[in-house]
Amino acid sequence: MLEPLTPDLPVFRRPFLRLLHEAASALGGTVEVEPAFGQVGQVRLPGRPPRLFRGAALGLNSDAAAAWARDKDHCARRLRAAGVAAPDGVVLSAPRFRAALARRNPGAAAALPDPATDARRFAEEAGWPVWLKPLQGAAGEGVMRIDRAEDLERGLEAGFGHADQLRLEAALPGRDLRVNVLRGAVVAAFARRPAEVVGDGRSDVATLTARLQQALRARHGGVTLSVPEGQGPRGLAVGECLALSAAANLTTGGTLEDLTDRLSQNCAALAIRAAEVLGLEWAGVDLMVAENRPAVLEVNAAPGLEYYASHGPEQWARARGILIRALEG
């Protein structure tokens, strides 16, 4: 049963729901949510049918388009076929996936390559490092950078602990950007950096990480940071920096620099083109930019705005405006 979203509901603490509430109110509407978790609900605007939402997905994209984007291999291959720069890669299937497929389609299962052999072949051809990702996933969960051949087997074992299928892909050089596209126009853009701790000359890495996580949770909510293997007891000199992750996702503690008003034309054009190729009305397009030459890393069909909005008042106002535009369409 849905209930009106009001400040007295515990789920109102979620930044996305507060943003949605403000956007709907600006249009004379209301938001109703499932009160226990706030993951599903609807927006009611005067004179319009209710708009259902789940998580950050507002129903702006078709199911088919969202599915294309969600599958990292299908997404990259479709973009490359359309002439959009995107990383080459190979799909790797866990033994349990192969066994389940064999019960339904023995021929298809037999045609799947051995994941370890295929991974080594691809990595040697693409060159190190390579990125290992769940085939379908978001928020940077389960993403690993593999720097050496001797780490590949352990990476596969860890990766298959997250997902039945993985994509191993070539690393793209450059600066990590997220560009949000709404109905063929860029509405927000920012550069991302991985979470890092800065030494104070006294505290070890584990303590610094715990402090950073506490600060991020006070600001964003459910951010979980991990101490790099073997680095916990290490002390850092004053001003010395240590990255906690190779991935720059804001959901894993990454920081941002707002580029909305100074995004280059070629980056904007590529992000818009990527959304168009995938048939997405609303998209978060991740770019890697080297020497002003962007390439599409991946595309998110339900990009969350809460981490961007929590960066500051300007970003909060922009995120609210984006949701108003989304609901008006």
| Cα dihedral sign, 304-171-124-158 | negative
Q: 17 — phi, psi (to 5°)? A: -70, -35
SS in 3 state form for 144-159? EEECCHHHHHHHHHHH
The residues with which 285 forms a beta bridge, in sequence order, are 179, 299
CA angle at 182 for the pair 217 and 21, rounded to the nearest 5°: 50
The rounded average pLDDT for each run of 10 residues, N- to C-terminus, in the chain (329 residues) is 92 92 97 94 95 92 93 96 96 92 88 91 93 82 86 91 92 92 96 71 71 65 65 68 61 76 95 97 95 92 88 93 93
Complete domains list, the chain, with CATH:
1-55 (no CATH), 61-86+172-194+245-329 (3.30.470.20), 88-171 (3.30.1490.20)
Residue-level pLDDT at 211: 72
**What pLDDT, on a 0 to 100 scale, did the predictor assign at position 110?**
87
Q: Is 248 helix (H, G, I), strand (E, B) or coil?
A: coil
User: Assign residue 210 a region: left if phi > 0, alpha if psi is -120 to 50, beta otherwise?
Assistant: alpha
Q: What is the pLDDT, as a whole number, of residue 220?
A: 55
pTM metric for this prediction = 0.82
Per-residue confidence (pLDDT) for residue 218, from 0 to 100: 61
Return phi, psi of residue 50, to 5°. Answer: -60, 140
Cβ atoms of 192 and 293 within 8 Å: the answer is no
pLDDT value at residue 301 = 93
What pLDDT is stored for residue 316 in this prediction?
Answer: 95
Distance in angstroms (rounded) separating the CA atoms of residues 180 and 315: 13
